[in-house]
Amino acid sequence: MATGGFHGQILRVDLSQGKVSTESLEDDLARDFVGGRGLGSAILWRELPAQTDALSPKNKLIFATGPLNGTGAALSSRYELVTKSPLTNTILSTNSGGRFPIALKRTSFDALIIEGESQNPCYLWVDDQKVELRDASQLWGMNSHETTERLLEETSPKAAVACIGPAGEKGVLLASVMNEKDRAAGRGGAGCVMGAKKLKAVVVQGSHKTPVADPEAFQEARKNALTIVSEAPITKNALKEYGTAVLINIINQFGALPTRNFQEGYFPDADSVSGETLKELLYERSVACATCPVACGRATKTANRSGEGPEFETMWALGPACGVKDLELITEANYNCNESGFDTISAGSTIACAMELWERGYLDTATQDMIREQLGGELRFGNGEAVLKCTELIGRNEGFGKLLAEGSLRLASLFAHPELSMSVKGLELPAYDPRGFNAMGLAYATSNRGGCHLRAYFVGPEALATPYAVDRFASEGKPALVILYQDLSAVIDSLGLCIFTIFALNPEHYASLLSTVTGEPLDGRQLLRMGERIWNLERLFNLREGFAKEDDRLPPRFSQETLPRGHSKNQVVDLEPLLEEYYRLRGWDEEGVPTKEKLNELGLEAV
């Protein structure tokens, strides 16, 4: 049955049988797991057998919306894509914004469960309650831009499209699912799962409004949250003026902008690839997701073509991580990633890993010869043309690109030096060196989807003094703060909100939005308990898949090598004491396993 924030329906699509069916959303799933990430994770836990091959027909691909999608709340246009990751074999939830999340919610389905594997390429067309599986053979091979344009012609110009490009079709483990052409559910290879199912796209439009239990109280909570977001310094000024790449110079000044595959933390040419320089040279206009007053996205144009981005993480991964300072080449490489449909963070980090393997002489002769032939030169740090060519090869999964398409851990392990993969649980780390941000190191190590800053977005306190400043080198109190941010981030993802709201709102604000939508009384403490429940369920999924304490580790570089210069010089990470305290505060045993008491406390005793 429908309750506030939910339509009460799930659409199940069996691609092997070519059948679709509608199911009722269970009240306890909505109540206990919020929606979005939490809802998708709960469904995956219940339905996916342990040790399922991520690329087999048995894996599930779950498109899940949150209770705030379609309500008009500020920054409430994010959806979650939940599956088992083919890159890491962890649970994967990855999200994206734009128009697609609200269009999906308006179909009246709170989630889509995709299972099985189609014999031939197909796409799913959901128009309110009308659902069709259509042939996509003529779309196979098209990039994300071409696919989107063609499908809007075939269905409705008012529809929204989430699709894969050639990378997903060809089995690139870094493949993303792209919506609005350039928006990516990027991390962990969800696009590869979609490609294995031969599902080219999901196209949606609808007219159903999200039900709100207490419209008057919700409007008050919505307006209050909007006012706070509009007045907070980060969301009011920095992100609006320069986009996410405003962080390039800031993180570089801290001496924690990972450079040359995390060998350094200071990039002398950072300003050449900054948000300020992007605005000066390539900026066309700002781009916003639906319901967003911030508009941190950037439409850009080079001498050859146009698109969106690069965002901060992309700018770093294809730039300083590879020692590259040519903004136009970085932007072109970003366009390649978006059009072919694969993750820019993992791609850039894997190329950087390959560069270090080359410079240390770890690549065999045959691989070196292949690189020289296909890239037209050596794969050394600073070679922007090589980065651009590598993104082309990854998208086609050809030649040296086939090795890069497996991610940095498989690449480095192939050449007997896995320590050069800057990853956790097989997922490449983002643009914050943990030697410069202590809490971020613990957040990386304990993240349920592998190396990720968005599972505890500690950039605010450690780098931006938002909502308060903490000593970035200190250890005291950090495990508790990381837990707080992990639980809160789980709820934000489940509500359907953008993580940037964390720069402005606190748990009570989120609780007010959720409670007035659903009609269920809720305070900030209870909201965080929901996040804790989601976090523990994700942990249980990974334990069931064979992950253990040994996987809550950072690459050895961070504990063994100090940064040679910059304002984080001579720092290393001492993870073990932080991890021990983290487990204790989580209510887990010494091996990082949730205790029976903790599971009972969270209502997960049946698990």
Q: What does the alpha-carbon distance between residue 328 and residue 587 come to, in Å, rounded to a whole number?
A: 49
Q: Do the Cβ atoms of 497 and 195 come closer than 8 Å?
A: no
Q: Which two tokens stand for residue 464?
A: 């931006």
197 and 248 in a single domain? The answer is: no
Which residues have a Cβ under 8 Å from the Cβ of 170 and sit 6 or more positions away? Answer: 195, 396, 397, 405
Residues 6+ apart with CB under 8 A from 124: 13, 112, 114, 131, 132, 133, 134, 199, 201, 202, 203
Q: Are residues 61 and 179 in the same domain?
A: yes
* Structural domain includes residue 257: yes
Residues 6 or more apart whose CB falls under 8 angstroms from that of 258 comprise: 264, 265, 316, 320, 321, 422, 429, 431, 432, 433
Residue 42's alpha-carbon distances to 31, 75, 259, 299, 470, in angstroms, are 12, 24, 38, 36, 34
For residues 58 and 119, membership in a common domain is answered with yes
Give residue 606's pLDDT: 77
Q: Is the pLDDT of residue 607 over 90?
A: no
Question: For the domain that residue 328 is a member of, what is the CATH number?
Answer: 1.10.569.10
Structure tokens at 218: 């919700």
In a domain, 424, yes or no: no
Please count the other Cβ atoms lying within 10 Å of the Cβ belonging to residue 551: 18
Q: Would you state the pLDDT for residue 158?
A: 96
* Burial class of residue 297, CB neighbours in 10 A (0-12, 13-18, 19+): buried
Task: Name which of 431, 482, 480 is nearest 456 in CA terms.
Answer: 482
* The pLDDT of residue 427 is above 90: yes
The label of the residue with tokens 């800053």 reads 453
CB-based contact 455:447 (threshold 8 Å): yes
441 and 405 both lie in a single domain: no
Specify if 533 maps to a domain. Answer: yes
Note whether 60 and 105 are same-domain residues.
yes
Position 10 pLDDT exceeds 80: yes
Q: Angle at Cα 111 formed by Cα 107 and Cα 114, nearest 5°?
A: 110
In a domain, 228, yes or no: no
Per-residue model confidence as pLDDT tens digits over 273-303: 999 999 999 999 999 999 999 999 999 999 9
The verdict on residue 223 lying in a domain is: no
Q: Give the angle subtended at the CA of 380 by the CAs of 553 and 255, to the nearest 5°.
A: 50
3-state secondary structure 228-272: HHHHCHHHHHHHHHHCHHHHHHHHHHCCCCCECCCCECCCCCHHH
Range of the domain at 13: 9-205
CATH of the domain at 531: 1.10.599.10
Greatest alpha-carbon span in the chain? 69
Beta sheet of 283-287, edge-to-edge order? 283-287, 297-301, 306-308
Residue 425 lies inside a defined structural domain of this protein: no
Same domain for 299 and 380, yes or no, is: yes
pLDDT value of residue 471: 93
Grade residue 181 by pLDDT with cuts at 50, 70 and 90: very high
- Outline where 416-501 has alpha helix (H): 438-446, 459, 478-495
Residue 388 sits in the same domain as residue 287: yes
Residue 18 DSSP class: T
Concatenated DSSP letters of 290-341: TT-SS--EEEEE-SS-EEE---HHHHHHHTGGGT---HHHHHHHHHHHHHHT
CATH code of the domain containing 116: 3.60.9.10
Which residue has tokens 């073990």? 576
Give the pLDDT of residue 59.
98
Question: How many whole angstroms separate alpha carbon 372 and alpha carbon 351?
Answer: 15
Tell me what the pLDDT averaged over the chain comes to: 96
End-to-end CA distance of the chain: 25
Judgement on whether residues 201 and 254 belong to the same structural domain of the protein: no
User: Are the C-beta atoms of residues 387 and 394 closer than 8 Å to each other?
Assistant: no
Confirm if 77 and 69 have CB atoms less than 8 A apart.
yes
State the Cα–Cα distance between residues 600 and 488, nearest whole angstrom.
21
Statement to judge: residues 397 and 448 lie in one domain: no
322 band by pLDDT with thresholds 50, 70 and 90: very high
Residue 416 is assigned to a structural domain of this protein = no
What are 580-599's pLDDT values in tens digits? 999 999 999 999 999 999 99
Region 67-91 average pLDDT: 97
Residue 577 shares a structural domain with residue 528 = yes
Give the number of domains in the chain: 3
Last residue of a domain, one of 189, 205, 221: 205
Is residue 164 in a domain? Answer: yes
pLDDT at 2 over 70: no
Domain boundary among 205, 232, 251: 205
- For the segment 457-482, the average pLDDT, to the nearest whole number, is 90
At 525-557, the pLDDT tens digits run 999 999 999 999 999 999 999 999 999 999 999
Both 198 and 60 in a single domain?
yes
The predicted model gives 559-575 an average pLDDT of 95
Same domain, 402 and 458: no
Instruction: State residue 230 phi and psi, 5-degree precision.
Output: -70, -20
Q: What is the C-alpha separation between 578 and 398, in angstroms, rounded?
A: 42
Conformational region of residue 535, where left means phi above 0, alpha means psi within -120 to 50, and beta covers everything else: alpha
pLDDT at 469: 87
pLDDT of residue 352: 98
With contact defined as beta carbons under 8 Å apart, do 259 and 323 qualify? Answer: yes
| Domain end (from 184, 205, 226) | 205
pTM: 0.97
pLDDT confidence band for 563 (50 / 70 / 90)? very high
Helices (H), 470-523: 478-495, 507-518
For residue 5, the model assigns a pLDDT of 96
